[in-house]
Structure 1
Amino acid sequence: MCEALQNKYQLCDEIGRGRFGTIFRCFDHISNEFYACKLIHKHLLTDPTDRACLHNEPKYMTLLSPHPNILQIFDFFETDDILSIVLHLCQPLTLFDRIIDRPLPETQAASIIKQLLEALAHCHRHGIAHRDIKPDNILFDSSDNLKLADFGSAEWFGDGRSMSGVVGTPYYVAPEVLLGREYDEKVDVWSSGVIMYIMLAGIPPFYGESPAEIFEAVARANLRFPSRVFRSVSPAAKDLLRKMICRDASRRLSAEQALSKLSVMCTVGHPWILSGGETTDLT
């Protein structure tokens, strides 16, 4: 354990666990505040790609902080064995926990997707793609504000640099990633569209019994809206889904375009986002 970490923070109970480490609640005696401390065990990082990504999380989170919809980093410490990252303490339940049992009303889904796109627009303006957008990486603070977390797979695409490599999670990964092509930051928009679909329908848009079958369905990208689950979903919401879960990345909306940010391609936001999920006439 890092002595500098122990001198500043008191580690308390375990609140989470992942492939490479453990998350603890910790207490700062100076600020009299609780935080989350993520301990990444280096000996578990046997893959060279994982080792290369080791410092991405604190580096990119420091660059992106503060932002109201991105999990804030406060400190990080490193020894030969462990990388420790001190983060804002959020509620224990993720977006995955909120949507696992039932679909969400459109107004609630619109609020969540708007905050997620705000976070992504901020990332993309700084030349950073998250590359692992999924409900498990979406947290909420004590005021129920969305916080995008886990930047371990993030990548720099600034200065026109393209990205490559298969990263992400089967249900949410964009087809261009699976097909081994170079890709851009719009892979995050695809993943966000999949999350929006699941929030409204309670099922994923592309399904399979195994990761291979899921990847095959994603690569085909045959987006459908079954009437039995989309009967009460507005045309505006389905229109936005088509523009986010678009197989042709050149035609896919950017986060900025969906949010009505000033850009050369789009100067008005998508009506479903602007209306807070209220039914909107697109005619």
Structure 2
Amino acid sequence: MSRGSLFQRAPIPEAKFQKTEDVTKERDADGKKRINQYVVGELLGQGTFGRVKLCHDTVTGNRYAMKVFRKQQLMRKKDFQNEGPGRGMSVTTALSKVYNEIEMMESYSCHPRCVNLVEVLEHQDSQKIYVVMTLGEVGSLLTYDECEGTYTAPVPGEWIPASSQSTQCSSRSSTSRGRSLAIPEPIAKCFIKDALEGIAHLHEHGIVHRDIKPDNFFITTQGRVLLGDFTVASKVDEHGRVRGTEGTYSFMPPECCTPTDESQEYSGHDGRAADMWALGVTVWVVLFGSLPFQKANLKELFESIAECQYRIPPDAPVSPEGLHFIQAVLVKDATNRLTAKDALAHPWVSTADFSQLPAYIEAALKVKEERAKKAAEDASVSGSSSFTGILRP
């Protein structure tokens, strides 16, 4: 669907987090580290730029995620960004990306479908930055296994009763019945609707995420999705455009994988449309448990994406509305892709039924507990330390 040439930004609400320069570090009587009023707990995840830890606010009683960054290390990490034909490369440090994430989270302020800033603690002379954020306790929407090249759902797909699967598959080939989805379609619709509300909010405020993928959708104990990790997010120009490429290769849109004519001036690409393409790839992964574009090397991957070469599994147990949604988002021409607002009105999304979420989340928490117990047992046997990550920064 075509867009207007001008991009209208919604007014930005007042930020509701605080910045603190007076940072005190100490240990409680039981040896637990405390940063101001936050008692620091278990390690939740390890990212490229820093660690994510669970923390408990002793004033409010709330639990949050705390990202911990070492500034000296981040200053040594350089990132080279291609600015487009004739514009060369720009160089930024990892530290600048951390500050960018904070700035982006300031810009969109609080929203129930986004990870929100609670507090940034940074003493002028300190070598660390502590970023306190709202927490998705259940973990990522899907977890990527780099060794296997596959995604793992919070709960096995067979969680949906066989009778429900048969109903879903009635319009498809009979060979599809009983085949598990990465996440059952009725549950997936709820998660995607939540994610779209977060994406739409960002786009309304002139911000694009630029790294939409299942790993960056975090689930709360209420079963709601929080869109997180704004490391490479950026503000768009008045036409909704951004420059250069950011994000994860397999989720990049055709317009970022197509060689540019050197004779033409590069004017960037529509960041909102790129986000929506990545959302389409995410829906594919959520429903099918695999990526739509998988090739042996980067060159072949980009060529496949540029030509929009994907094939929906013929026996996929997905409703016609679900298949139509995927095909309406994974469109080669960015101007014909659904916008976030359009996608929220699509029948597949608008009919999401949240009544089954409590049972699914209960099962997910049980699976998470069992996995954590097994990881602890394996670590005990091997004599090495281990952790079960539920957030990936």
Tell me if both proteins adopt one fold, taking TM over 0.5 as the criterion: yes
1:217 aligned partner: 304
Q: Which amino acid counterpart does residue 177 of structure 1 have in structure 2?
A: C
- 2:130 matches 1:84: yes
3-state SS of paired residue (2:334) = coil
Aligned match for 1:10, one of 7, 30, 39: 39
2:139–2:220 contact (8 Å) kept in structure 1: no
Gaps of 5+ in 2: 1-20, 25-34, 79-90, 145-150, 154-180, 261-265, 354-393
Gaps of 5+ in 1: 260-268, 278-283
1:205 aligned partner: 292
1:164–1:177 contact (8 Å) kept in structure 2: no
- 2:282 matches 1:195: yes
Aligned match for 2:218, one of 139, 153, 173: 139
Aligned match for 2:111, one of 44, 63, 67: 67
Shift in Å at residue 97 of structure 1?
3.1
Q: Distance in 2 between matches of 1:51 and 1:97?
A: 26
Aligned length: 265
Q: Distance in 1 between matches of 2:239 and 2:121?
A: 32
Report Cα offsets for 1:238-261 as digits up to 9, x if no partner.
Answer: 1111111111101111001111xx
Aligned match for 2:253, one of 174, 177, 195: 174
* Of 138-147 and 92-101, the range deviating more from structure 2: 92-101
Q: Distance in 1 between matches of 2:245 and 2:51?
A: 25
Shift in Å at residue 92 of structure 1?
4.8
- 2:141 matches 1:95: yes
2:243 aligned partner: 164
1:65–1:72 contact (8 Å) kept in structure 2: yes
Shift in Å at residue 8 of structure 1?
2.9
1:28–1:35 contact (8 Å) kept in structure 2: yes
* Pair 177,78 (structure 1): closer, same or farther in 2 beyond 3 Å: farther
Q: Distance in 2 between matches of 1:88 and 1:211?
A: 35
Aligned match for 2:269, one of 176, 183, 187: 183
Aligned match for 1:149, one of 224, 228, 239: 228
Alignment root-mean-square deviation, CA: 2.1
Q: Distance in 2 between matches of 1:242 and 1:52?
A: 37
Shift in Å at residue 158 of structure 1?
4.5
Aligned sequence identity (%): 31
1:166–1:178 contact (8 Å) kept in structure 2: no
Q: Distance in 2 between matches of 1:77 and 1:177?
A: 36
Q: Distance in 2 between matches of 1:275 and 1:27?
A: 37
Report Cα offsets for 1:92-112 as digits up to 9, x if no partner.
Answer: 521113952652222112111
Higher relative contact order structure (alpha carbons within 8 Å, sequence separation ≥ 6) = 2
Q: Which amino acid counterpart does residue 38 of structure 2 have in structure 1?
A: Y
Q: Distance in 2 between matches of 1:4 and 1:97?
A: 34
2:201 aligned partner: 122
Q: Distance in 1 between matches of 2:305 and 2:219?
A: 28
Larger radius of gyration: 2
3-state SS of paired residue (1:39) = strand
2:142–2:286 contact (8 Å) kept in structure 1: no
1:110 aligned partner: 189
* Of 187-196 and 154-163, the range deviating more from structure 2: 154-163
1:280 aligned partner: none
Give the TM-score taking structure 2 as reference length.
Answer: 0.63
Q: Which amino acid counterpart does residue 129 of structure 1 have in structure 2?
A: V
1:276 aligned partner: 352
Shift in Å at residue 82 of structure 1?
2.5
Q: Distance in 1 between matches of 2:49 and 2:322?
A: 37
- 2:104 matches 1:52: no
Q: Distance in 1 between matches of 2:330 and 2:55?
A: 39
Aligned match for 1:249, one of 334, 346, 353: 334
1:71–1:87 contact (8 Å) kept in structure 2: yes
Q: Distance in 2 between matches of 1:135 and 1:24?
A: 20
Q: Distance in 2 between matches of 1:178 and 1:25?
A: 38
3-state SS of paired residue (2:335) = coil
3-state SS of paired residue (2:295) = coil
Q: Distance in 1 between matches of 2:319 and 2:348?
A: 9
1:167–1:177 contact (8 Å) kept in structure 2: no
Report Cα offsets for 1:207-226 as digits up to 9, x if no partner.
Answer: 11334432332222113212
